[in-house]
Copies of this chain bind each other. A is one copy, B any other.
Amino acid sequence: MLSDEGRAVQTLTPSMVKRVFTCGLVVSAFGGSRPPLYRCPMTLADRERAGASLPRAGARSPFVRLAALLAEIAPGKAAINLALGEPQHPIPPFVGPVIAAHVAQFGRYPPGKGTDRFRGAAAGWLGRRFALPRPLDPQIEVAVLNGTREGLFLAALAAKGWVTPRAGRPVILLPNPFYAVYAAGAAAADCEPIYLDATRRTGFLPDLEGIDPALLSRTVAFYLASPSNPQGAVADRRYLGQAAALAQRFGFLLMSDECYSEIFYGGEPPAGALEVAGPDFANVVVFHSLSKRSNLPGLRVGFAAGDGRLMASYGELRNIAAPQVPGPAQEAAVAALADEAHVAANRRLYEAKFALADEILGGRYGYRHPAGGFFLWLDVKAQGGGEAAALALWREAGLRVLPGRYIAHDQMDGTNPGADFIRVAMVQDQETTAEALHRLVAVLG
C-alpha cells in the first residue's frame, strides 16, 4: 500500500461515516442564515457510538479506490502516474554530507520538541519569510514534527484538551475537498467533523462568512490549508485575519496547514496565519514541512509554531506520545532552512510545468494557472465527471489521475464538491508532463 503520499486525501466509507456522524449537521458555504439541514439531540447512546468511532477501519485510501477503479483495465499507452502528489525533483546536495557529519546523533534521543538549533532555525526562517508581528520564541512557540501529517493529527487531540468547554457537541471544521488526516484528527478527538465546501464559487476556500455562529461556539479547531490542496487557492491576509479573529472570538484553535507555502507562482509569496494573529499569535498554530519546499518528503521533518499556550499543551502530549525526529535529520533541516536557492530552483521547475499547462490546456476544463501548490484541479463534468474521465484517461492514454470525489466528502444533500473534477499532480519531469498534457487533451477534448 502506498504511503499516502504525505498529502493524500481520503474519503470515508458508509460504515465509517455512520460511526463518525452521530449528529450530522451541514452548513452551507452560502447563506449563513440558512438553517442546518439536519440536527439531532445528542444522546448517551449516540455519544457512545461516537466514542467507538476512532479512526480505524472503513477508511479506504483514495489510491486503493483508484486501483480498484482501474483494475483489469490495461493502460492505452505507456503509463504515466499523475495521481500521487509526491515531489520528485532532486534532493538538495547538502543533505547527505550534513547527515554524515552528525551520524553519531543516531545514538542519542533527540529532544522531543526539537533541538535548540532546529527550533532556532525554524523560528528564524518564519521571521524572514513572513511579516510577523514579532520574532517567535523558539523555546516555547516552535516544535519539530515528523512531517506535518502526524503533527496535524495530534494537534486535534491537543486542541480538544486545550479549549474551554464548548457549547454542545465539539466540532472540528475542515475544508472539502480535504487532506485525510484532518478527518482522522477530528475522529480521534471525538469531534464532529464539519466539511466546508471549497468550490469555485467560494474561491476554492471555505466561505468564512457562511459559518453559523452556533457552530463556531461548538468548534474546537479549524483545519485550513493555504495554498489549498488540490485547488491551489491562496488565502490572502484579509481572509487569514478573518479566520484568526473567529478563532480568537470563539476560543477555538486555527490550525493553518501551510505546507505548500513555498510552491507559489507569480507575484508575492502567500501570506501566513501568524502574520495576522496579533502579538501573541493567539489561537493560531501554523504547520510547515520540508517535504514540498525542499523536495525532502522522505526526510520527515516539519514544524509547528504559534500560540505558546497551545504549544505547551501540545508539547506535553508530544513528550509522552509523539514520534521523535532524529538529530541528523534536524541538522539537515537546519541547512535546508538556511538556503533559499534550492527552493527558488524548485519553484522554477514547477513554474515551467504550469507554463506548459497554460499553453497546452488553455482555458479547457475550467483551468486557470493556480496561485500555489502543484496540482491541476480540472472540471471534467462535461466529460462525465471525475471517475469517467479518470477511466478514459487510463484506458485510452495510460494516464493515472485521481477522481476528485475520492478526496472529498459527500454532503448530506448528496453533493460532493470533488465529483466533477480530476486531480493531476505536476510532479513528473517537464518532458513527461508535456507528453501527459497532450495525451489528456487528446482524450478529453
Contacts and interface: CB of A to CB of B under 8 A. Distances in A.
A90 interface: yes
Interface stretch (A100-108, A202-210, A432-440): A100-108
Give the number of copies in the complex.
Answer: 2
A57 interface: yes
Interface stretch (A223-231, A257-265, A310-318, A363-371): A310-318
Contact of A54 (B100, B103, B161, B324): B161
A39 interface: no
A27 interface: no
A19 to B, nearest CB: 8
A86 B109 contact: yes
A73 interface: no
Interface string A299-320: 1100000000000110111011
Interface string A46-77: 01100111111111010000000000000000
A43 B112 CA distance: 37
A1 B105 contact: no
Most buried by B among A44, A110, A300, A329: A300
Contacts of A189: 54
Contact of A109 (B3, B100, B108): B3
A160 B107 contact: no
A18 B295 CA distance: 46
A188 interface: yes
A184 interface: yes
A96 interface: yes
A106 B328 CA distance: 12
Interface residues of A, number: 85
A343 B222 CA distance: 47
A213 interface: no
A300 B111 CA distance: 12
B4 A319 contact: yes
The listed residue with most B CB atoms (<10 A of its CB), out of A47, A48, A107, is A107
Nearest to A51: B190
Q: Considering the complex of A and B, which 3 residue pairs feature the smallest CB-CB distances, nearest first?
A: A56-B161, A323-B323, A146-B323
Given A4-B112, A157-B188, 19 more contacts: A1-B112, A3-B324, A6-B109, A55-B316, A56-B157, A58-B316, A88-B108, A89-B107, A91-B103, A91-B107, A100-B100, A106-B296, A106-B298, A106-B299, A109-B297, A146-B323, A150-B322, A181-B320, A323-B323
